[in-house]
Amino acid sequence: MSGAVNAHVGGEPTDAPRACPACGSEKLGTRFCTECSSELVPPVTVTHAFGPMWAVNGHVLTVPMGEDVRRAVLDAVTNFVDATAPVRVVVADGALVTKVVLRLDGSSVAEGADASSWAGPGRADVPPAIDAQPTSIVGVHSGCGASTWSLLLGLPEGQLTDVLTEPVILACRSTPVGINAAKAAVRGLGRGAVAAVLVVADAPGRPVPDAAREQRVLAGAVPVVPVPWMPRLRAVADISPALAGQLARPVQRVIKALQGAQSNKEKAE
């Protein structure tokens, strides 16, 4: 990777998407999905011009000799788009094309020809997306989505049998059986040991009436964060940078809901 950079951020997409990258719906408006309200935003395009010069949607950036090119470019992208959610970036450096997902804490994951140059940690002075108090996500039954959401939220996955030193986030499906398993876990751990419960949708649409009723009961004991149905997560074993970018908007909404749940719990205590 060369030593100077210019970044260019894409404007309106030239080719309209056929489906929403967040939920897969084909009910699209001009800028937003009418199904899940996700914004249909193209990736930021970063192009290496020559030497220390790069381009972000035509906007020139020069990286001084000896400066970290990745950090300088990605910081420029963040400032250019005024990011409030993870940003998808496509980097073209000659024949090398790399897809990058830039997170809000400045860290990045990448895949493609020059992935090792563009993936890396965030800035030391930026707090993590989720308060550091909950140390892990713990699934209360098999198939609840804990492994997937630990990857999407950047938190380790724990087990109910672990020795818990900090409050955890529980995960269950939005079924009567799943929510009852979460209630049992809360009783076993104690309300103080549970920061929140992610209730992951088991299917499109609203949960069945029995599940909705049990979820209200659960919410009376601990904060509950409903997680919408996401078709793109079906039968997914690994979260690729491309998929992480497609899910950035709904994942950010879950992060904000968790932050709000933690803040409300602290005020109540």
* Tokens representing residue 223 in the block: 């904060």
Domains of the chain: which residue ranges? 7-118, 137-268
Report the pLDDT averaged over residues 35-40.
58
Least confident of 79-88, 94-103, 142-151: 79-88
Residue-level pLDDT at 98: 94
Q: Is the pTM of this model over 0.85?
A: no
Out of 1.20.1050.40, 3.40.50.300, 3.30.420.40, 3.40.640.10, which CATH number does the structure's domain 137-268 have? 3.40.50.300
Q: Is the pLDDT of residue 124 over 60?
A: no
Q: Is the pLDDT of residue 212 over 80?
A: yes
- The neighbour count for residue 198, using CB atoms within 10 Å, is 26
Q: Is the pLDDT of residue 64 over 50?
A: yes
pLDDT band at 66 (very low <50, low <70, confident <90, very high): confident
Q: Is the pLDDT of residue 261 over 60?
A: yes
Q: What is the pLDDT of residues 196-210, one digit of tens each?
A: 999 999 999 888 999
Could you tell me which of 114, 88, 90 has the C-alpha nearest to residue 103? Answer: 88
Share of the chain above pLDDT 70, in %: 73
Please name the residues in contact with 207: beta carbons below 8 A apart, sequence gap of 6 or more: 174, 175, 201, 215
Q: What is the pLDDT of residues 79-97, one digit of tens each?
A: 777 666 678 899 999 889 9
